[in-house]
A and B are shown apart, each in its own frame.
Chain A
Amino acid sequence: MRIGAFILVGLAAGSLTAEHPRSTYVLIANPASRVSKIDRKFLAEVFLRRATRWPDETPIQPVDLGPDAPARARFSQEILSRSVASVRSYWQQRIFSGQGLPPPELADDEAVVSFVASHPGAIGYVAAGTPLSGATVLELN
């Protein structure tokens, strides 16, 4: 009975509250990639590691925010069409079957900006309003 009540409360809570608060984000890339616009489908393939090179053959280095970052939740839903938890399940399958590794998860927006600015081929996203020193803003096609 207690377990049943616990589950019902969980179902109700889940249906009433979102997984994360929503936040807008900005796409950024290393200036050396010389890209200013990116196709949404290609962006999804980059973060699922199906597309690994820029058109000039530079290796793409995608970088994620941590699983609790609001910008990560919005990026996952809008670009990957999955929740963060679903994306993490996808990577569990890939990692433990020897099919690949996920993009590194960095602690905060500043760490993502710093990584992208210092790694040619890097691409990431950060919460709107984050100072973008050294990184180029990408426009989504």
Chain B
Amino acid sequence: MRFVLAVSALVLLAQRPAAAAGLTLPGQLAELQIHGFISQGFLLTSANDYLAHSSEGSFEFTEIGLNFTLPATDRLTLGLQIFSHDLGPIGDYRATLDWYSLDYHWRDWLGIRAGRVKLPFGLYNDSSDIDAARTSVLLPQSIYPAQNRDFLLAQTGGEVYGYRDLGAAGGLDYRLYGGTIFLDVKQQPGSPFTVVDLNVPFVAGGRMLWVPPIEGLRLGGSLQFLRLETHLLPASSSSSVAVNIPVMLWVASVEYTVRDLLFAAEYSRWRVRAQSSNPAMFPESLTFSERGYALTSYRVNSWLQAGAYYSVLFPNTNQRGGFAGRQLDAALTLRFDVNAYWLVKVEGHYMHGTAGLSPSLNGNRPLSSLTPDWALFTVKTTAFF
């Protein structure tokens, strides 16, 4: 029923001829801008369940967003976005405040946002929900894993941002942030532990993008620190184990746009340490993961784009051997813009390795027992205004 409603809304939205809705407020207040999007996708894998129960085909791939932005003065902007999604076991169509902020743009080189703010990590993390903004259906999952959306997408706190003109050297775009992440604990079926609580005392980081005087080129780096604190109750014990997980992530990024052709490449390493109050129950560890991709897309004309990328994921650099220690993903996409407010995408992936798969989606089978070479086919349609 929910799927039928979502598709009905999509069709209605797609037929809407106008651009963003505007609502004029009384008095001296500026116009309230209303934008929205709705997406419905389908996932099918030749083997293994990926993101959803995809081996049998899954429509559990839905996103709906509605945002309201009010430029209250020429320096102060208020905004919020309501978001609901479903992707296999995550989302479940719960409506959440995706972001909300008070944005004070004091100077072009210094602004402040307070509230829940999208995390600037890499080139595309803060826009990863926005299907209309890219060619591919799925961003390279090595750096932008959809399964980690709740951890990596937004933080509640504040950020300073700005753009500094460097004259002949181009310009510098920067964002620095600090805050916390509120997580909704969901028990993984088959897990040997029950999560008693889970907190993120802090998340902090920044992104700097240099826009050199070569048109269309962006070079940058992002760094993020966060700490997870959790208490886990083992199935075989009545006392919980305290686990602290400090994490450091960084990514180096390059993007070059020339006319209708786009190249992007990113390389990232994530350092995850697990500190345990009871190493016998929950072992301590230090893990480095390595991630990267190269991507290209080309806009053939006003209604057709083609894209391709190759993405690699090594969740533990000390265990690269064996197909369970890696996931290599070669993807091809065609995007059809039916009109300025409605698009359809078709995408195929050839995957080697199982490191990006979720054991809980695959009957809690070890990753080494899953099919090493498999394919993913996905179709997605999005309407937006």
A contacts, CB < 8 Å to B: 7, 10-11, 13-15, 17, 19, 45, 50-53, 59, 67, 77, 81-83, 85-86, 88-90, 92-93, 95-101, 105
- Which candidate, B8-16, B63-71, B236-244, B357-365, is the interface stretch facing chain A? B63-71
Q: Would you call B254 an interface residue if the criterion is a C-beta within 8 Å of the partner chain's C-beta atoms?
A: no
> Residue B273 at the A interface, CB < 8 A?
no
Q: Is A92 a contact of B132 with CB atoms below 8 Å?
A: yes
B300 touches A15 (CB 8 A): yes
A134 to chain B, nearest CB (A): 22
Q: Is residue B145 within 8 Å, beta carbon to beta carbon, of the partner chain?
A: no
CB nearest to B384 among chain A residues: A92
Query: What is the CB-to-nearest-CB distance from B98 to chain A, in angstroms, rounded to a whole number?
Result: 8
Cα–Cα distance between A83 and B163 once the two chains are bound (Å): 23
Interface residue tally for chain B (C-beta within 8 Å): 51
Q: A19-B301, A83-B299 are in contact. Are A95 and B35 (CB under 8 A)?
A: yes
Most buried by B among A85, A88, A98, A99: A98
Q: Please judge, given known A-B contacts A45-B171, A96-B127, A96-B130, whether A86 and B35 are in contact too, CB under 8 Å.
A: no
- Are B133 and A92 in contact, with the CB atoms below 8 A? yes
Q: Are A97 and B127 neighbours in the complex by a CB distance under 8 Å?
A: yes
Cβ of B340 under 8 Å from chain A: yes
Inter-subunit contact A96/B163 (CB<8 Å):
no
Closest-CB distance, B75 to chain A (whole angstroms) = 8
27 contacts between A and B (CB under 8 A): A7-B304, A10-B301, A11-B300, A50-B163, A50-B171, A51-B165, A52-B74, A52-B105, A52-B108, A77-B259, A81-B258, A83-B299, A85-B260, A85-B299, A89-B133, A92-B132, A97-B118, A98-B69, A98-B79, A98-B100, A98-B117, A99-B118, A100-B77, A101-B69, A101-B71, A101-B77, A105-B19
> In whole angstroms, what is the CA distance A58 to B4 when docked?
50
* B101 contacts chain A at the CB level, 8 A cutoff: yes
Q: Does B50 contact A (CB under 8 A)?
A: no
Residues of A within 8 A of B134 (CB): 89
| Residues from chain A with Cβ under 8 Å of B126 in the complex | 93, 97, 99
Complex contacts, B101 vs chain A, CB 8 Å: 98
Residue of A nearest to B168 (CB): A41
CA distance A23 to B129 in the complex (A): 36
Contact B301–A17 (Cβ < 8 Å):
yes
Q: Report chain A residues within 8 Å CB of B150.
A: none
B130-A93 in contact (CB<8A): yes
Which residue from A17, A77, A86, A95 sits with its C-beta under 8 Å from B299? A86
- As a 0/1 sequence over residues 148 to 179 of chain B, the CB contacts with chain A under 8 angstroms (1 = contact) are 00000000000000010100000101000000
Instruction: Say whether A96 contacts B300, CB under 8 Å.
Output: no
Given contacts A7-B334, A50-B171, contact A98 B81 (CB under 8 A): yes
Sample of 20 further A-B pairs with CB below 8 A, known A89-B133, A101-B71: A10-B300, A10-B303, A10-B304, A14-B304, A81-B257, A81-B258, A82-B216, A83-B299, A85-B302, A85-B337, A89-B134, A90-B133, A92-B127, A92-B384, A95-B20, A96-B130, A97-B99, A98-B103, A100-B77, A101-B69
A50 partner residues in chain B, CB cutoff 8 A = 108, 163, 171, 173
Contacts of B99 in A (CB 8 A): 97-98
B264 smallest CB distance to A (angstroms): 13
Task: State A89–B37 Cα separation when bound (angstroms).
Answer: 13
Residue contact A82 to B257, C-beta cutoff 8 Å:
yes
Q: A97 vs B175: C-alpha distance in the bound complex, in angstroms?
A: 13
CB distance from A18 to the nearest CB of B (A): 9
User: By the criterion CB–CB under 8 Å, are A96 and B35 in contact?
Assistant: yes
**Contact B300 A95, beta carbon cutoff 8 Å:** no
Nearest-neighbor residue (CB-CB) of B123 within chain A: A93
A93 to B130, CA, bound (A): 7
| A7 contacts across to B, CB distance below 8 A | 304, 334
Cα(A85)–Cα(B297), bound, Å: 13
User: Counting chain A CB atoms within 10 Å of each CB, which of B65, B100, B113, B130 scores highest?
Assistant: B130
Q: How far is the CA of A10 from the CA of B83 in the complex (A)?
A: 34
Is B56 part of the contact surface with A, judged by Cβ < 8 Å? no
Q: Is the CB of A51 within 8 A of B127?
A: no
Q: Which of B100, B117, B163 has the most CB of A within 10 A?
A: B163
Tell me the complex Cα distance, A52–B304, Å: 33
Whether A96 contacts B65 by the Cβ 8 Å rule is: yes
